Structure 1
Amino acid sequence: MQFLSRCSGRSSLLALALTLAGCAVSPTDSPADRSYEVAEVGSFHVGGRQVTLAGLPSREIVFTEGAAPRKVDPNGDFETGQMYAQFVRLKNPRARYPLLMWHGGGLAGTTWETKPDGAPGWQQFFLTQGHTVYVTDAVERGRASWSRYPEVYKTEPFFRTKQEGWELFRIGGAGSYDSDPAKRIAYPGTQFPVAAYDQFSKQGIPRWATNDAATQTAYDALVQKVCPCVIVVHSQGGNFAINAALHAPDKIKAIIAVEGSGAPDPDKVDISALKNIPFLFVWGDFIDQNTSWKQYIVAPNKFQKALRAQGGVADRLDLPQHGIKGNSHMLMMDRNSDQVAALVQAWMDKNGLMK
């Protein structure tokens, strides 16, 4: 790998980050220019259970203009609680284990695919580095589908406004969003491709606040099906990944938590089983300017400190401290996302996760 061989002369993550941050990458180093041989592309659903509904009224529905109405009976058996996984298996992977990519709240596996500005995403980047990659849509998201409420899901879904996304994902500060794209004010130096924000907003998916247990169960089933593995996880997914590791510490070989918004409380949960699993915590910019993220970062920081106290590998890649500035919460979609991904790849190399 030419990028790393030229740029990784020192062993510490800090030194590596500083070196990579200053490296000039030639066109031949671009992931888009590298080829890889695919053995199989496919998908499956995992987890879930059958539920039976009864006592609901039937009604007639016209499904296609000009067609006769058809009686629809909503009573009967249904599957709920399943998740969706798409995989690209390489013929000759360089990584020792498949890489599972888990998304955050109100989003789906599209987080890791082509970026909103049309550039290749992290799925493509890590395929070029030699990883077999699994991209998932968690319970209730995307191709996992969802269920009736309140008959199955106990609450109604809620939807993220574009203003909430703009501010919560740290593209701009409080009050900087406007319905008119020309009037939006992004943080100075933001790496997010602001012109693609409306395109990014199309990825938003309704979510429920009452399905965490079902989601965890489905993630645990995925781990049992495809691991041992390495997980790269974003935002809300961080808590699911850590709990999956607690449930199956022999199956998960590393976790890269990209701005995880939660973590188990080590004062209430025994985390000693995780001390042999390397962790990398990745953080972008503008956190100290965002009220929500100043709160969200507390639990992951406490968890990281506790992991270190257990003697485990709990590394931190705080991008601004390494001279890489302007990253949003959606740093895998930022203009410099390949640079950040290269640091993650370097960490995996350093921790023996590649052949």
Structure 2
Amino acid sequence: MSYTLRDFGSYTVGGRMHRVMEGEPQEVQFTRTASYTYDPRGHFAVEQTYVQYFIPDRARDLPPVVLVHGGGMHGSTWETTPDGRPGWINLLLDRGREVHVVDMVERGRSGFAPGLWDDAPILRSAEEAWTLFRIGPSDGFVRRRAFEGTQFPVSALDGFLQRIVPRWLSTTQLQTNGVIALIDRLGAASLVCHSQGGEVGFDAFRARPDKVFGILAVEPSAFPPSDVTCPITLLAGDYLDTAQHWFDRAEGWRDSVAKLRARGVSACFIDTAKTVARGGSHFLMMDRNSDDVLDAGMAAL
């Protein structure tokens, strides 16, 4: 990395004030040596989105890049790979791009308010992550026997699993609202979105089509809107034939891109197993060839 930073920091966008009228004051011991009367009633700031930003000293005259993580994850997705290599934040800064990284509503440093949503959060198990993210076959989890040729750094699996956090299933619209608020604050942006973040990013585009100048979607959980007008690239990993839902998803990605291209949109589907290297997982930004994968998708930004 050869960049220097002109500025970095953080802020929050979106959210609302929520009034709680139920409950009674109670004495609580909040440290070993201090107690006070806690009142659960009052007004509370909730549903905000935390954003961390980085501006390189020699930023190019291009829209800022907004990084939107996937389900059960947070902004650390883009910071450092599980095995300690520079993440896409660093790579984008090295390429002269201003970067804004979100922790979506109820994730990471955005936090959550207890009891605010009716449903209970879920937490993905290590076994589910192993198979769903196409790191290896289900019978290979115990011995860490990954797919042959995998690019995922299996030796650092435990560190990756420690990044997984609880998620609610009812907050996607709130998360989309946060990304929209961020785009409004910036005035213009290009989006890099992963998995569930693809659904959020696509819906944010629908709401602000005049302010989104490019989309790089890494195995998005949804298909691009049919009315996309900005350049868009979809990145897919390997082993997509190991589960029907991944095979169907890949077919949908290809079909969506083909329809956009037929309309004259600058759209591209990149099968990284064919054009970059075999072995890509669902977390292409964490794989050993993550630098090359990002370079393959940069044209959309």
Structure 2 length as normaliser, TM-score?
0.94
Shift of residue 302 of structure 1?
Answer: 4.3
Counterpart residue type for residue 309 of structure 1 = A
Q: Distance in 2 between matches of 1:76 and 1:301?
A: 50
Unaligned 5+ segments in structure 1 are 1-31
Divergent runs of 4+, >4 A: none
Which residue is 2:152 aligned to?
A: 192
Are residues 68 and 38 of structure 1, via their aligned partners in 2, closer, same or farther at CA, if it must alter by over 3 Å?
closer
Equivalent residues in 2 for 1:1-355, closer than 5 Å: 32=1, 35-65=2-32, 67-149=33-115, 152-178=116-142, 183-263=143-223, 271-272=226-227, 274-275=228-229, 277-297=230-250, 299-322=252-275, 324-345=277-298, 347-348=299-300
Counterpart residue type for residue 21 of structure 2 = A
Q: Distance in 2 between matches of 1:44 and 1:245?
A: 22
Higher strand proportion:
2
Shift of residue 95 of structure 1?
Answer: 4.9
CA contact (8 A) 1:88 1:134 kept: yes
Are residues 95 and 161 of structure 1, via their aligned partners in 2, closer, same or farther at CA, if it must alter by over 3 Å?
farther
Shift of residue 116 of structure 1?
Answer: 1.1
Q: How many residues align?
A: 301
Deviations 1:29-65 (A, max 9, x none): xxx3xx2232211110000011111122443322222
Unaligned 5+ segments in structure 2 are none
Percent identity between matched residues is 37
Shift of residue 222 of structure 1?
Answer: 0.7
DSSP 3-state at the match of 2:202: helix
CA contact (8 A) 1:231 1:255 kept: yes
Are residues 323 and 132 of structure 1, via their aligned partners in 2, closer, same or farther at CA, if it must alter by over 3 Å?
closer
CA contact (8 A) 2:107 2:167 kept: yes
Q: Distance in 2 between matches of 1:120 and 1:229?
A: 23
Q: Distance in 2 between matches of 1:309 and 1:167?
A: 35
Q: Distance in 1 between matches of 2:271 and 2:154?
A: 22
Are residues 302 and 78 of structure 1, via their aligned partners in 2, closer, same or farther at CA, if it must alter by over 3 Å?
farther
Q: Distance in 2 between matches of 1:123 and 1:64?
A: 37
